[in-house]
Amino acid sequence: MSSSPNVVRHQAAVIRSRRETLNGHRSVNLWFTGLSGSGKSTLAHAVEERLHLMGCRTYVFDGDNVRHGLCSDLGFSLEDRSENLRRIAEMVNLFLDAGVISLTAFISPLKADRQRVKEIIGRDNLIEVYCNCPLEVCEARDVKGLYKKARRGEIENYTGISSPYEAPATPDIEVKTNEQTLNECVKMIVEELKERAIIF
């Protein structure tokens, strides 16, 4: 909500439902959460590829990519991480209104921040996907070499090492990325979208 009394929300003639009808599917957000290295981005992009081939309009918000632009002024303190997610949630709202299926791949380690995201986006508009992967597996993958730096004390506030990760108690979808294949995980998510009549 704007703090200025002179800012008034404009009511458009072309609304979300009309865009969804044109697109041939409903809009929703798939919020991927999990430790670094748990496979969030890989899975989000694989799901997007599958949906794209099905004719869906999609967009992936990747944590690293967003921090190059929209959130380039933020660090990694708990406060900055919270603000990072708030901005993303507001951006997701615009994509929901556009009739797009958005996929957001963010560690989003704290329950309170994820709850705030759900309140901003709307619980019915968000499907929480928990990429459950043991820390030791994520560290073994260490695609970016960040865990090693965190262990050496070169990175502060690193989730799973010097900063907490609070796992979702009741995610909408839980995938065990160290046990299930990428294709199996994608299939689970696409089936959930079908069950909810997001896609047909």
d(CA 141, CA 145): 9
108 classed as catalytic: yes
Catalytic residue, from 17, 108, 162, 163: name it: 108
End-to-end CA distance of the chain: 34
What DSSP string runs through the chain? Answer: --S-TT------SS-HHHHHHHHTS--EEEEEE--TTSSHHHHHHHHHHHHHHTT--EEEEEHHHHTTTTTTT--SSHHHHHHHHHHHHHHHHHHHHTT-EEEEE-----HHHHHHHHHHH-GGGEEEEEEE--HHHHHHH-TTSHHHHHHTT-SSS-BTTTB-----SS-SEEEETTTS-HHHHHHHHHHHHHHTTS--
**Residues labelled catalytic:** 108
